[in-house]
Structure 1
Amino acid sequence: MNPIFTKMVDAVEAANAAPDDYINASDGLKYCGKCRTPKEAFFPADLQAQGFTKHPVMCKCAAERRERKEAKRREYERMSHMTMLRSEAFHDMPAALWRFESAAVTTPQLAKARGYAQNWDEFKKAGIGRLLFGNVGTGKSYAAGCIANALIDRLESVLFVGMSDVVNRMQGNFGTDRDHYMKSLMRPDLLILDDLGAERNTSFGKERVFDVVDKRLLTGKPMIVTTNIPLSVMKQAADLDDRRIFDRILEVCVPIRFDGENFRKGNASANIKKAAEMLNG
């Protein structure tokens, strides 16, 4: 037998040894004293003829220990990757904790948003997004954030940005810098453009919005757009620049109307009441 190979086998056997191991008289192989499964196996007959008789194998409990260790390693890597995705998704949005499970009320709109996340694979393949429209404070951004976190839990990449921030960034960047920023908007699996219409109402702003929406559409990747602009206004826009933007969005984003009470006003009232109670002792 090759002396180098012999040393390797001996080293493995030594690492694989335990005080309660024993030799099974029926086959002459070493067995684990704990799980009573083999720690050795015979080489094929042709190798045995060359002097290679037995080689170490993992017993059942050793294999299970290795699998547990691997599972912990995989879970650590998954959680690390998830943390990175979440930090990249919410640069300027306090949405990292927005989740369907923690919503105070599950509205029909939030249920539809959850359905989008649950059927993400089909929507992603088809490049279909959502248009969340309605009055201020009705939960559009919260629903988008819940979708984002649900997808990040599945290790999908998301970017959640305010539309006014996008326009401002593009106005402050030129040439290569603007190209790099545009590419960063195209890279994630899902792009969330929050508060369409909040950006400055200028020809430059509208052109930049169209550029982002149009290029995102051409990538075939989904986007979610939130806006206070009524759907009827979007469909009947008289301004050519606005109509170009809205038509592109409606081409790939299925609308969900958010209505009802203004949650922000409700939260503000509750906070004011709580503060008054504290001040009054």
Structure 2
Amino acid sequence: MAYSNEMYNKAKRILEKRHDSAVMDADMRSMQIKEEIPEIKKIQAGLQQIGLEISQLFFYKQNTDEKLAELRARSEALVEERSRLLKANGYPEDAMKPHFVCNACEDKGVIDGRMCSCQKQVLKDLMRKEVSRFAPLDKCTFDKFELGYYSEQPMENAIVPRQRAEKILDTCRKYAQNFSLNSKSLFFFGGAGLGKTHLSLAIANVVINKGFSVCYGTSQNICDDLQSEQFGRTDNINYTKNQVLGCDLLVLDDLGTEIDNQYSIATIYNIVNTRLLTGKPTIISTNYAFDRLEEKYDKRITSRLTGEYIPFYFIGNDIRNL
């Protein structure tokens, strides 16, 4: 998945810290145990000597089978005696071993050259933390999407808001469950406070849990940061061009709130067009009616939204005022 190098490096540092901490704690426990139980100190010295003798056998290519069997038998006897002493003194058998979070890879993040599931989980956690900096990700799930806020009374166009919201919810849930790098892009439009951002983030929640990278931001914030990046002002930006164009799923919220100038329009066009050309899914939401979008943007943008995105029209009253 398209995680950034920075995120991979963060995950690596977290795992290294876990591994080193487990080893350090084990060393400290071992020192304490050897002070309390002198017999174990002798056993540890004996095990180290056996290890050295085994290494020498292979190094000098001597007749090793019989000697190796003898050394292993001695090692097993010492380990058994150590376990007996630890139990007798109230310690578990593995008290002197590192207690790793992931025993499969010993907190190294890799098994036989392949990424361990623990590193995948760390990356997911980091991705969730990154998106949560800008949006209430934990509050916006499918289970927390409340259909009761939507009226069951038909509107003037005979559409029942609750039925429409229920249909959109079901479609978005299926979209998230089946998400892949080949998924279509979605376009959410309708009045303010109708759940567009909530469902966008609910999809992001599921997509992150599936191991994909997600970038969430408002149109205004992303345009501002990409402009700053272009002119070399990168000290305080949250979004980069590579991140916005390269993530597995981009959630571009509040289209139309960016500053109304040619640079912003060019930036929106580049985002929409580049991600379509590279086949990367995008979710765009706006409070604008479509005729208003056509007034604000040229057809290069609106034609792509209507022709390449799956549209979802949200209707009803602002649920934040209920």
Q: TM-score, normalised by structure 1?
A: 0.64
SS where residue 258 of structure 2 aligns? coil
Match of 2:193 in 1: 137
Q: How does 1:183-262 map to 2 (within 5 A)?
A: 183-231=242-290, 233-234=292-293, 237=294, 241-262=297-318
TM-aligned CA deviation for residue 218 of structure 1: 1.8
TM-aligned CA deviation for residue 203 of structure 1: 2.1
Match of 2:126 in 1: 84
Q: Answer yes or no: is the 8 Å Cα contact 1:131–1:256 preserved in 2.
A: yes
Structure 2 residue runs of 5 or longer lacking an equivalent are 1-55, 59-63, 81-101, 108-115, 148-164
SS where residue 132 of structure 1 aligns? strand
Q: Answer yes or no: is the 8 Å Cα contact 2:193–2:319 preserved in 1.
A: yes
When residues 103 and 175 of structure 1 are mapped into structure 2, their CA distance, relative to the original with a 3 A threshold, is same
CA distance in 2, matches of 1:91, 1:9: 58
1:156 to 192, 198, 212: 212
Match of 1:70 in 2: 104
CA distance in 1, matches of 2:289, 2:73: 73
Match of 1:52 in 2: none
TM-aligned CA deviation for residue 158 of structure 1: 0.6
Match of 1:270 in 2: none
Which residue identity lines up with residue 210 of structure 1 in the other structure?
Y
Match of 1:56 in 2: none
When the two chains are superposed, the root-mean-square deviation of aligned CA atoms in Å is 3.2
Deviations, residues 211-231 of structure 1 (Å, cap 9, x unaligned)? 221122222101000011224
SS where residue 107 of structure 1 aligns? helix
Match of 2:137 in 1: 95
Q: Which moved more, 1:207-216 or 1:150-159?
A: 207-216
When residues 243 and 91 of structure 1 are mapped into structure 2, their CA distance, relative to the original with a 3 A threshold, is farther
TM-aligned CA deviation for residue 200 of structure 1: 1.9
When residues 12 and 183 of structure 1 are mapped into structure 2, their CA distance, relative to the original with a 3 A threshold, is farther
Q: How many residues align?
A: 212
Q: Answer yes or no: is the 8 Å Cα contact 2:216–2:253 preserved in 1.
A: yes
Deviations, residues 169-218 of structure 1 (Å, cap 9, x unaligned)? 1232325678x921111121101100111112222221221122112222
1:112 to 171, 193, 197: 171
SS where residue 220 of structure 1 aligns? coil
Which residue identity lines up with residue 113 of structure 1 in the other structure?
C
Match of 1:279 in 2: none
Q: Which moved more, 1:7-16 or 1:159-168?
A: 7-16
TM-aligned CA deviation for residue 15 of structure 1: 6.5
Deviations, residues 74-124 of structure 1 (Å, cap 9, x unaligned)? 554343221111123344222243111232337322222111112213xx3
Q: Answer yes or no: is the 8 Å Cα contact 2:145–2:198 preserved in 1.
A: no
CA distance in 2, matches of 1:171, 1:199: 12
When residues 156 and 9 of structure 1 are mapped into structure 2, their CA distance, relative to the original with a 3 A threshold, is farther
Which residue identity lines up with residue 230 of structure 1 in the other structure?
A
SS where residue 186 of structure 2 aligns? strand
Greater share of residues in strand: 1
CA distance in 2, matches of 1:83, 1:260: 35
TM-aligned CA deviation for residue 242 of structure 1: 2.8
CA distance in 2, matches of 1:242, 1:233: 11
Identity %: 25
Deviations, residues 226-254 of structure 1 (Å, cap 9, x unaligned)? 011224555xx356x43221112233210
